[in-house]
Amino acid sequence: MKNTISAVLFAIAIIASSAILGNAVINRNKKAGTIAVTGLGQSDFTSDLIVWEASFNRINHDLQRAYADLENDKKVIQEYLVSKGIPDSVIVFKAVNTNRNMKQNYSASGQYIGQEFTGYTLTQSVQIDSKAVEQVEKISREVTELLNRGIQLYSMPPRYYYTQLDDLKIEMISRATGNARIRAEKIASNSGARLGELITARMGIFQITGQNSNEDYSWGGVYNTSSKEKTASITMKLSYEVK
């Protein structure tokens, strides 16, 4: 009788152990399902701020004369810009850069025989930051008119910016997040599952490229300043639970 009871208890213990072990294996192998997706937010916009620069110079052996000529050029340029409708308040003349020019002299046999002073070059630049984008664009193209007044003004390509960039970023993040959510829901639905809670969200690089350009995206971000018409984009990487 005692042996029978012991055998029964031993059998029960084996069954219980097997059940516990089997349950442990199932729990250990059971993993929470997740879906990781990347969403894209994109928007075209027109720059609302233009920055245009140009430089002019004078060369003379007499430094005082060179400064006087440069100052006269500055006045003519300012009067010209004001006549084109640009306010004095946005016309900024930068500091004068002075360079002492030297010529390297060599003998007929090619031996170096010293330097020769050839005069001073004084260079100054003017910059305009304005929201009158079309107006400044036109001036940057027509500024060669100053050549008729004896002023050699070297115009640089305008740079274009957008003053509402912070608001645009927020809008792009919202679009990218919504795009990623739609993708995740579609994947879950096709798999016969249901989307659960958001686990992680990571923002990608904010990029600004010129419209209809062949600019490549960069891991460090692209910020186009040469095109007036631009495209902003950002990615959001989201991870969701799956039920």
Residue at which a domain ends, from 159, 187, 212: 159
In this predicted structure, what is the pLDDT of residue 137? 96
* 3-state SS, residue 194: coil
Q: Consecutive 10-residue runs of the chain (243 residues): their mean pLDDT?
A: 45 41 34 84 95 96 96 96 95 96 88 90 97 96 89 94 94 94 92 90 92 73 91 94 89
Number of domains the chain is built from: 2
Q: Are residues 105 and 148 in the same domain?
A: yes
Residue 36 lies in a domain: yes
CATH of the domain at 91: 3.30.70.2970
Boundary (domain end) residue, out of 105, 132, 159? 159
- In this structure, is residue 216 part of a structural domain? yes
Q: Is residue 53 part of a domain?
A: yes
Residues 124 and 208 in one domain: no
One-letter amino acid for residue 52 of the chain = W
Same domain for 198 and 186: yes
Asked if residue 11 belongs to a domain, the reply is no
Q: What is the pLDDT of residue 32?
A: 55
| Domain contains 20 | no
Kindly report the CATH number assigned to the domain that includes residue 185. Answer: 3.30.110.170
Looking at the domain assignment, is residue 13 inside a domain? no
Same domain, 37 and 57: no
Q: Which of 129, 159, 189 is the last residue of a domain?
A: 159
Instruction: Name the phi and psi angles at 22, rounded to 5.
Output: -65, -40
Residue 237: CB atoms within 10 Å: 15
Under 8 Å between Cβ of 80 and 65: no
> Considering the domain boundaries, does residue 25 fall inside one?
no
Angle at 53 between CA 51 and CA 55, to 5 degrees: 175
Q: Which two tokens stand for residue 114?
A: 């010293």
Does residue 118 contact residue 101 with C-beta atoms inside 8 Å? yes
Report the pLDDT value the prediction gives residue 38, as an integer from 0 to 100: 94
The 3-state DSSP class for residue 145 equals: helix
Q: Does residue 234 sit in the same domain as residue 141?
A: no
* Cα(43)–Cα(179) distance, integer angstroms: 13
User: Is there a single domain that holds both residue 120 and residue 181?
Assistant: no
Is residue 136 domain-shared with residue 180, that is, in the same domain?
A: no
**Are residues 177 and 191 both part of a single domain?**
yes
Q: Are residues 136 and 53 in the same domain?
A: yes
Same domain, 173 and 220: yes
Burial class (CB in 10 A: 0-12, 13-18, 19+), 139: buried
Helix (H, G, I), strand (E, B) or coil at 112: strand
Residues 60, 77, single domain; the answer is: yes
Q: Which residues contact 188 (CB under 8 A, 6 or more apart)?
A: 35, 194, 195, 240, 242
Residue 219 confidence (pLDDT)? 66
The reply to whether 1 falls in a domain is no
CA distance linking residue 157 with residue 212, whole number of Å: 19
Domain containing residue 188: 32-46+164-242
Query: Do residues 64 and 142 share a domain?
Result: yes
